[in-house]
Amino acid sequence: MDTAWAGAPTFLRPESTTAREINSLALKLLVICALVFVVVESLLIVSIIRFRKRRAEDVRQTHGNTTIEIVWTLIPAALIAIIFVFTVRTMNTLDLPGGDVPVQVTGHQWWWEVHYPQEGVTAANEIHLPAGRSIDVSLRSADVIHSFWVPQLGGKTDAVPGRTNRATFLAATPGLYQGECAEFCGLQHAHMRFDLVVESPAEFSAWLAHQGEPAAKPSSPAAQRGEQVFLANPCAGCHAVRGTAAQGAIGPDLTHLASRRMIAAGTVENTRENLDRWLRDPQAIKPGALMPTLPLGDADRAALVAYLEGLE
């Protein structure tokens, strides 16, 4: 993993075969459009300069000139046909046959649920992948239309309520890639991001095995008190912490919250200060988020932060 720039979400730095195909198509279309622009604008500028002294009455009208009309219909039609052929050829290369790693991703307002069906592992806002193996994402939505997009790895795929869409790609280079929701889906659409972590197959297996384990038992008195606070408050009604009585399925699974880089779907970094701010007033960080403000005292909130920090 190198600098922040390496993970910056831009399709101009493709890192998968799929993204390279899309990038090369985009460049071809850009060249065609640029040529059209240059030719049309040049003719326009020449006409403006060359004929500016002519009086309107002296201009010969060419209305009804069949030859000209056929020519300016055929040229755009030919250009669009060329674009069509390029596009269909690219589309045919995008769908990788049978991905190696199936992942179910569900868009929620405003976060991503991540489920590995073969291992029964559930995570949120962070997808891990082994380098060099293809991923097969089944994409769903729990509420409105979202769009799954990792600019460096592939094109956008909509998550539509009531149906399952597929996205496949293969990332060869380990690294951190940022993904985002690319379809306006409400107030916090811009804070619906996720990390896509491509790592060595051994690191990936270790991550997956760890994510499949139940939550760590709270180790300090503060964390133990935090667990009680968690279970006694509405937290447990919305969030699951596997290995405890908390089985809520409305918000993100928090079993391994502390292992994630960010919280609130890529809104702020996962630090003690930010967890505390988030619990004190989620609406100040992410207005409109479904996370309510809980009436917790300072001591209870500190205990809850200690508990959440231990969920590695």
Q: Give the 3-state secondary structure of residue 40.
A: helix
Nearest distance from residue 164's CB to ligand CUA, in Å? 17
Residues in the chain: 312
Nearest to 164 by CA among 105, 218, 216: 105
- The kind and range of the H/E element at 168 are strand 165-170
Q: Does 239 bind ligand CUA (CB under 6 A)?
A: no
Which of 19, 167, 185, 257: binder of ligand CUA (CB under 6 A)?
A: 185
Site for ligand CUA in 98-117 (CB under 6 A): 107, 110
C-alpha angle 133-107-275 in degrees, rounded to nearest 5: 95
195: which 2 tokens?
């990390």
Nearest distance from residue 271's CB to ligand CUA, in Å? 25
Q: Return the bridge partners of 180, or none.
A: 149, 193
Candidate segments 180-188, 209-217, 264-272, 274-282, binder of ligand CUA by CB under 6 A: 180-188
Nearest distance from residue 192's CB to ligand CUA, in Å? 4
- Of 146 and 225, the one with the shorter C-beta distance to ligand CUA is 146
Which of 21, 113, 126, 183: binder of ligand CUA (CB under 6 A)?
A: 183
Residue where the block lists tokens 């000139």: 65
**How many Å from the N-terminal Cα to the C-terminal Cα in the chain?**
21
Which of 45, 184, 210, 220: binder of ligand CUA (CB under 6 A)?
A: 184
Q: Does 146 bind ligand CUA (CB under 6 A)?
A: yes
For 180, residues 6+ apart whose C-beta sits below 8 A from its C-beta are 9, 149, 151, 192, 193, 194, 266
Nearest distance from residue 158's CB to ligand CUA, in Å? 10
Q: How far apart are CA 194 and CA 5, in angstroms?
A: 16
- Of 195 and 227, the one with the shorter C-beta distance to ligand CUA is 195
Nearest distance from residue 96's CB to ligand CUA, in Å? 25
Asked if 264 and 251 touch (Cβ cutoff 8 Å), the reply is no
Q: Does 181 bind ligand CUA (CB under 6 A)?
A: yes
Nearest distance from residue 284's CB to ligand CUA, in Å? 21
Please report, as ranges, the residues that interact with ligand CUA according to CB under 6 A.
107, 110, 146, 181, 183-185, 189, 192
